[in-house]
Amino acid sequence: MNQTVILNSLKQGKREALELLWKEHSSNMLNLAFRMLKDRDQAEDILMDVFVQVPTAIQKFRGDSALNTWLYRLTVNACLMKLRESKRHSELEDEHLESIIEQVLGKTSEDPSFDTEFLEAGLSLLPAQTRSMLWLKDAEGLDLKDLVDIYKMPEGTIKARLSRARHFVKEFLKEKLNYA
């Protein structure tokens, strides 16, 4: 089913369309929520909350962005609300840090002098929104247009935040580990 058909079906309240949306996108949304919250139960709660919102929220969706981008935005917003409520800051998992390591440091995790604990510590000091932005760009490979749609910010703002975040993490690691 193409996006237009799914969108129209969702707006008409067809359960099959919501089930299809769940099958196609729930695992990516859960993964994103888990990366932001570092808690599987909370990530699952966020996923359920987002899907409960979809039938109502879809009425305002104009289709200017891809449906999965819109779902990422709903997920990110729900996670940020959860983080604000609980004032928890999370760390990112080691398993997908390679691309962030390369973007920030120009090194790989196989480098014998590299310690992912310090990278996670540096990333955990970033605001949750900036951390999720860095994750989506560098680890998930989303392009700037998708980030603009998700965060509803100008491209220049996103570029600046990503640049500052990478610089901050690099400086943090230089200080902690004497990285050049």
pLDDT tens-place string over residues 115-137: 667 777 777 788 878 888 888 88
Q: In the prediction, which pLDDT does 92 show?
A: 43
Among 32-36, 93-97, 137-141, 159-163, the range with the most confident prediction by mean pLDDT is 159-163
Element at 133 (helix H, strand E): helix 128-134
Lowest-pLDDT range of 13-17, 84-88, 93-97: 93-97
Question: Whole-prediction pTM value?
Answer: 0.55
Per-residue pLDDT for 104 more than 70?
no
CA-CA distance, 5 to 16, in Å (whole number)? Answer: 12
CA-CA distance, 113 to 47, in Å (whole number)? Answer: 38
Per-residue pLDDT for 179 more than 80?
no
Per-residue pLDDT for 163 more than 70?
yes
- Tell me the three state secondary structure of residue 170: helix
